[in-house]
Amino acid sequence: MKPALSRHRSTALLAAWERTVRRDGAERAGVEAVSGKSWTFRELDQRARDWRAAWAGTGGLQGRQVLFALPNGIEWLALFLALVRSGAVAVPLDPGEPIDAQRRLARELRAAFWWDGKRLCPVDGPPRRFRDPEVCLIKLTSGTTGRPRPLAFTGGQMIADARQVTSTMGLSRRDLNLALVPLGHSYGLGNLTLPLVVQGIPLVVGSAPLPHAIADDLSRWRPTVLPSVPAVFRALAGADVPPSAFASLRRAISAGAPLPPEVARDFELRFGRRLHSFYGSSETGGIAYDVTGAATLAGGVGRALRGVTILSRPGQRIQVCSAAVFTHGNRSRRGRFGCWSPPDRADIGVRGEIVLLGRRGSVVKIAGRRVNLGDVAARLRRLDGVRDVWVGTDGAAEPSLGAALATDRTAAEVRRELLADTAAWRIPKRLALLREFPVTARGKIDPRALRERVFGPG
């Protein structure tokens, strides 16, 4: 009998990839829009094997974390698959993560190595080794405290997420994804990376998340599915790009942040294509999807994905249970599946339709009165012409309430409307009115940048 450490780890994911290569080896796995370089599944697998062979002198990666930050492309996919083949636990980072931050994260996570762009670099200190042979990936949450929280996932959980997403959305090997969101983000993993690895759904790596670049990629490569974020769809709807460029597109999917209904309406009017809201989290993978696009036009996010159970909880909370929810370090269970309650407030309709009501707000004391930030945000969202909202306090001993609004209205107009039905102490004293909210590399709203716009630096 072989010793335990000689076994392949992440066996479910590796087996799924090898099935894909056997079946689709000569088919095109993807293309890089900038260079025009394409590669087959067999070529991608060989590139991964080459990387694995180059690491022969590292002393073994099985069960050990390896951090890497690369832009979308063949090298990202090859490196990820090489880590899967090596039995390592991959920790993908945002492509723009500074080198010093990568080193710091590697030490904090007790990783064995981090990728410097050319080679695996050892990390100081004893590395953590995961005993479960199926643990193959760490997702890092955005971390409201500034300290990202690591979430360990098994190959089976990642495969489940990909299958739940693709079966609900009706995606198959005949489709072609346009990859604009980062391949290592939870959204990109479930909608781009794992569908390619597990089911052989090819992708084209987009040249840039800018309207004219997207239109050019659509015209040249004719992808059928575009998963992206609200900021990109808003920019497309307002840009001077030809509707004919969207002729091949049969699914335009918006996730990563709430999608304002007016953006969905503008996009459909402009391009004759509906947007489909998709809702998920790092802990759960995909949660809900709007199959028809009708819920998106009304501000909803559709119904639970196939294989996902959504339970209503007190305080407008939900609990998500499925085979894709992480279980390592998660005490919540429903049968053999993990469960997780996202920090969002939500309303579930009689037919299972989900409408998000904003994040669960923390309660703060301002001038002796308790103020729920979630309630303040909900009131601001009801203002005419407001596309997005951020609410916070300045953190002082006597905190001051502030908010940023994505709107074309003036501060005087906003305050006048609020005073008609809102107590003065619940109206933010500091208002920053922006046409668009700043976003991170993952396409999510950047709370740090918004805080600076509202309260100033420091």
Could you give the domains of the chain?
7-28+37-155 (3.40.50.980), 207-359 (3.40.50.12780), 363-455 (3.30.300.30)
234 near 264, Cβ under 8 Å? no
Integer angstrom CA distances of residue 302 from 264, 295, 354: 14, 6, 6
Q: What is the pLDDT along the chain (458 residues), one digit of tens a residue?
A: 333 333 445 589 999 999 999 999 999 999 999 999 999 999 999 999 999 999 987 778 999 999 999 999 999 999 999 999 999 999 999 887 888 889 999 999 999 999 988 899 999 999 999 999 999 999 998 644 446 789 999 999 999 999 999 999 999 999 999 999 999 999 999 999 999 999 999 999 999 999 999 999 999 999 999 999 988 999 999 999 999 999 999 999 999 888 889 899 999 999 999 999 999 999 999 999 999 999 999 989 999 999 999 999 988 899 999 999 999 999 898 888 999 999 888 889 888 999 988 776 667 777 667 788 878 888 898 898 998 889 988 877 678 899 999 999 999 999 999 988 887 888 999 999 999 888 776 666 788 899 999 998 86
Distance between CA atoms of residues 424 and 172, nearest Å: 54
Cα angle 127, 132, 133; round to 5 = 95
Q: What is the pLDDT of residue 344?
A: 86
List, in sequence order, the alpha helices (H) in 350-397: 373-381
Q: What is the pLDDT of residue 410?
A: 92
User: What is the number of alpha carbons within 13 Å of residue 424 lying toward its C-beta?
Assistant: 1
Q: What is the pLDDT of residue 439?
A: 79
List, in sequence order, the alpha helices (H) in 183-293: 186-188, 194-199, 211-221, 230-238, 261-271
Q: Tokens 């996570």 label which residue?
A: 109
Using CA of residue 155, residue 160, residue 166, residue 169, what is the dihedral sign? negative
Q: What is the pLDDT of residue 2?
A: 35
Q: Which tokens go with 16? A: 């799924």
SS3 assignment, position 172: coil
Q: What is the pLDDT of residue 442?
A: 60
**3 state SS for 394-427:** CCCCCCCEEEEEEECCCHHHHHHHHHCCCCHHHC
* Contact partners, residue 247, CB within 8 Å, separation at least 6: 222
Distance between CA atoms of residues 134 and 8, nearest Å: 9
pTM, entire model = 0.83
